[in-house]
Amino acid sequence: MEHAGLADGELDAESADWLRRLSASDGAPRVEAERELYARLVRIALAEVNRRSGSTPVTGQELTDIAHQAAGDAMLAILAKLAEFRGESRFITWAYRFVILEVSSKLGRHYWRNPPVALDTGQWERLPDRLGVDPQRHAEAAGILAEVRRVVDDELTPHQRRVFVAIVVDGIPLDALAARLGLRRNAIYKVIFDARLKIRSSLVAKGYLDKPGMEQR
Amino acid sequence: MSDLDRLDRFLRTDPRDVGCGEAMAVLHIYAELAAAGQDPAARYPGVGAHLAACGPCSENFAGLLVAVTSG
């Protein structure tokens, strides 16, 4: 497989065939290509929800339904963005990206139908597990955990604190929180990124961590 | 790896990290390079840095890689 990075106009034969058929003005070949692509998207979506089934509270028929919804929405997005395909990968890889991202997003939204932990719960007693710092094994653990809590309480804005507690303390999946708060996942990630910087800086200042971290981007 | 090493690894940030949006925009290229046995992080170091730090995006990458390699 040696397709990634092809310049425009250098499509491999299979990708060119997909584009030709999906763009055909003649209805029958186009419908057949759409049917074939949709079948592939459904297969990939079903495999993906199955692969993720151990890490989501969504189960059973709901998972199957999510897979079919993801395939349908991915199909619509692919057809709407067909002209944006630049041949930087095989067409089918580009198409599969849509369905994988749809599965991820939909699992995030469905998380709230039966969430194992509610938003704003704040399970601080689980922080040692979350951060992998065992007070039984490290005399410094109590100080580290207290400093993390202090930074979160004193140095983060209410919004940053809410996001940090949801993701890091309560273990709510990023896609689920993004769906609940109506934010892009990148916005959530940036909050956590900045919180990591602040916490590490503070732990270094207190002497718990001894090497400088990387600079902020 | 000790507990403190794990904590340090979680807290460390990479200035090359491009964030979720940029990483997901090229995920198809990244996955195809990986499936071809190449090193996609060499071509997209910022995406590699992001996938190393962002569990959800890393999960998307893993899913796409499985999809690509399974046909």
- Going by pLDDT thresholds of 50, 70 and 90, the confidence category of residue A183 is very high
Least CB–CB distance from B20: residue in A89, A186, A197: A186
Contact B35, B29 (CB under 8 A): no
Residue B3 has pLDDT above 80, yes or no: no
Average the pLDDT over A143-147 and give the result: 92
Classify burial at A89, counting beta carbons within 10 Å of its beta carbon; exposed 0-12, middle 13-18, buried 19 or more: buried
Range name among A9-13, A20-24, A196-200 with the lowest pLDDT average: A9-13
- Residue A132 zone, left/alpha/beta (φ > 0; ψ -120 to 50; rest): left
- pLDDT for A33 equals 96
Q: Which of residues 25-64 of A touch B (CB under 8 A)?
A: 44, 47-48, 51-52, 55
CA–CA–CA angle A149, A155, A161 (5° rounding): 65
- pLDDT for A140 equals 83
- pLDDT for A2 equals 43
How many other C-beta atoms lie within 10 A of the C-beta of residue A159? Answer: 12
Average pLDDT, chain A: 91
- pLDDT for A211 equals 66
* CA dist., res. A193 & res. B57, Å (int): 14
**Helices A91-110 and B55-70: crossing angle, nearest 10°?**
140
Does residue A186 belong to the interface with chain B, where contact is any CB pair within 8 Å? yes
CB contact under 8 A, A2 and B63: no
In terms of pLDDT, which residue wins out, A8 or A138?
A: A138
Residues 6+ apart with CB under 8 A from A98: A41, A74, A77, A78
Write down the ipTM of this complex: 0.94
Contact A201, B16 (CB under 8 A): no
Mutate: best of A88, A131, A188, A217, partner B, most B CBs <10 A = A217
pTM of the model: 0.89
CB contact under 8 A, B35 and A1: yes
Q: Which of residues 100-159 of A touch B (CB under 8 A)?
A: 100-101, 103-104, 131-134, 137-138, 140-141, 144
